[in-house]
Amino acid sequence: MTRLLLSLILLTSILPVFGQQAAAIDSMRLAVSHAKTTEGKAYWMDMLARTLMSVDLAQSEKAGQELIELAEESRDRKLMIFAYRSSAIRYSYYGGQKEYTEKSISYYNKALNIARDNKLDAETGGILLRLANVYLMVPDKDKALGYANQGASIISTLNNDSLQVETENTFGQVYLFRNERILALRHYLTALRLAESLKEGSDDARSRKNEILRKCYMHLSTFYTAIEAYDKAIDNALLAYKTLDNIREKNVPYQRAIDLNGIGNLHAYNNNPELAMQYFRRSIALADTLHFTNLKVPGYTSLLNQYLRINQPGKALEFMESAEGKSLQDFMRNFGMASIIDQAYGVVYTENGKYDSARVRLQRAVPYFENQANDNNRIYFYTQQARFYTRTGQFQEAISTYQKMKELSDKIGEIKMATLAAQMLDSLYGVTGNYQQAMKYNSLYHLYKDSSAKLSREKEITQVEAADEQLRQARIEREQLEAKRKRYNIQYLAITVGIAGVFIVMVMLGMFKVSATTIKLVGFFAFLMFFEFIFLILKKNIAGITQGEPWKDLLFMIGLAALLLPLHHWLEHKVIHYLTSHNRLTSSGKGLLNRLKGNRNLPSGDDQHS
């Protein structure tokens, strides 16, 4: 029952759109009309077009085309790339549907051609990475890897840290889809290290860094979810949630609602249904305080799936008939997803034993899943449809549906679903008396089961290796910090020796008949280096207290200057005055000169023996 409504994931594919709806549609239109430059106008038109994807698809398409027209008229190649890429991103929000995936790829290719023709390497590399991600939705893992490699080869020649992070994350996603999990983890961790090393010189830079860090944490959460290490998945999801505190975007409150829903799903996977429900409700409540009805949809979807996940079909049906359920249905109808409502009702009616109603609903959903849904969603619809046929004793229809499910699962490498299909076909052929076919699928079932067991063992190994990889990375970081500490200590020692040497030279100059100007000059540099060195050490140690806050740093520097500056001038004056006031050879200086002269006049060994 856990994944009976998996195709409702279509709703979560447009979650990025919700994050863009931080401002009202009218205010965005106003911003477009008030924009002073073409670039400013294009920025707001992009925001408007993407926002409308969760409000009005026709209006979104109109806004997207207006952006393309604006860019084409400008003949600015980067702006043209921006416009076509905007439409590609919009359509990728509905990646679970073939039509929108194909449109997304088409627009990305238009942007790619412009970038290549004009030798815009950064834009070319970025688009290739995005194409890799879109092909994972198809799914076409080989094309995804090919585009990722092409993008990486271009980006490696650029000095662009954010694109380097995106490259590593893209490889992580591709390898995760290809079940090469250790490679995926290494790329994700590399991306995180690169993101952590980004500079935070300004508030905007800090915000941008946290946006990049957020993506890294979300990818790591996805990775740990895939290997069923749910506690670590939750840890990284919470880290991503906390980065919102440092992001200066208007969509942050809306993104919080989305994150709360995602964390709730992780708790559901981790067999903590009570906490999962609390997070779903928190997400819905936050959307309510923001007066944004559409933002409640992810929470409603999760509630419906959760009732089915914990085997409470009666509550699932009650939810579908409630005001919340009706709101969910209205949203899906408005976006051409009425067939998913039929699918949901079909599953809920089946689990409640209302087979006549279930039959009507599932039959209505067939054309959509056969013609528009992607392969993953078709597989899970076949599961639900075959389950209904089995429950109602329509064994031949169930056999036919499970066969389609198996063929499609084999095609895209879904071993778990192929195993389920083979198991059910073995059982159904046995019930219908076709023991030869039952034996065939029984053998296939055990073959798939062995493969699944191998994958399960690999998953356990991956969890161990993932933990080991993190420990290895932590050890490398400790070693790097230790090497840096040693290097700094050597530098501090060298500076100390250098300052001491300058003071020795200054004192020795005072022992001989040297001009006062020379002594003052050497003394000036000696005391300057000495007190600046003290200032450097104190400032470094006080950083842990001030935490880089400007007002604290200012107070500290004022206090330090008030203490050290008078001491500097007083001590320098006293020492220089003492060394220059004699202006003659001191007794120590004379003694040193006499010893040097005596050594030069000392007869050699041959002279002594002659």
Dihedral angle of Cα 114, 118, 123, 129, to the nearest 10 degrees:
60
d(CA 108, CA 87): 8
Q: Find the DSSP H helices in 246-374.
A: 252-269, 273-289, 297-309, 313-321, 323-334, 338-351, 355-371
Q: Which residue has the tokens 């401002």?
A: 23
Dig out the tokens for 503 from the structure: 């003071």
d(CA 155, CA 124): 9
Return the pLDDT at 23: 46
Is there a contact between 381 and 373 (Cβ–Cβ < 8 Å)?
yes
Return the pLDDT at 342: 93
Helix (H), strand (E) at residue 503: helix 435-511
Burial 373-392 (b: 16+ CB within 10 A, else e): bbebbbbbbbbbbbbbbbee
d(CA 218, CA 268): 17
Q: How many C-beta atoms surround the C-beta of residue 454 within 10 A?
A: 11
d(CA 405, CA 419): 10
Compute the average pLDDT of residues 302-317: 92
- How sure is the predictor about 14, in pLDDT bands with cuts at 50, 70 and 90? very low
Is there a contact between 301 and 341 (Cβ–Cβ < 8 Å)?
no
For 571, residues 6+ apart whose C-beta sits below 8 A from its C-beta are 527
d(CA 143, CA 134): 10
Compute the average pLDDT of residues 379-407: 95
- 463 pLDDT more than 80: no
Compute the average pLDDT of residues 153-177: 95
Is there a contact between 446 and 423 (Cβ–Cβ < 8 Å)?
no
- Model's pTM, two decimal places? 0.71
Is there a contact between 370 and 377 (Cβ–Cβ < 8 Å)?
no
Give the rounded distance of the alpha carbon of 563 from its chain centre. 47
Long-range CB pairs of 83-88, under 8 A, 24+ apart, other chains included: 83/42, 83/46, 84/108, 84/110, 84/111, 84/114, 85/111, 85/127, 85/130, 86/46, 86/49, 86/50, 87/49, 88/130, 88/134
d(CA 258, CA 286): 10
- 464 pLDDT more than 80: no
Return the pLDDT at 586: 56
- 587 pLDDT more than 60: no
- How sure is the predictor about 1, in pLDDT bands with cuts at 50, 70 and 90? very low
Question: Using alpha carbons only, what angle is made at residue 273 by residues 268 and 279, rounded to the nearest 5 degrees?
Answer: 75
pLDDT tens-digit readout, 173-188: 999 988 888 889 889 9
Q: How many C-beta atoms surround the C-beta of residue 15 within 10 A?
A: 20
d(CA 358, CA 151): 47
Return the pLDDT at 139: 81
Compute the average pLDDT of residues 5-30: 54
Return the pLDDT at 183: 87
pLDDT tens-digit readout, 47-64: 889 888 877 788 999 999
Give the CA distances from residue 373 to residues 9, 96, 604, in Å, rounded to whole numbers and listed in that order. 11, 6, 105
| φ, ψ dihedrals at 335, nearest 5° | -115, 25
Return the pLDDT at 209: 93
Q: How many CA atoms lie within 13 A of 577 on its CB side?
A: 6
- How sure is the predictor about 12, in pLDDT bands with cuts at 50, 70 and 90? very low
Could you say which DSSP state residue 515 is in? -
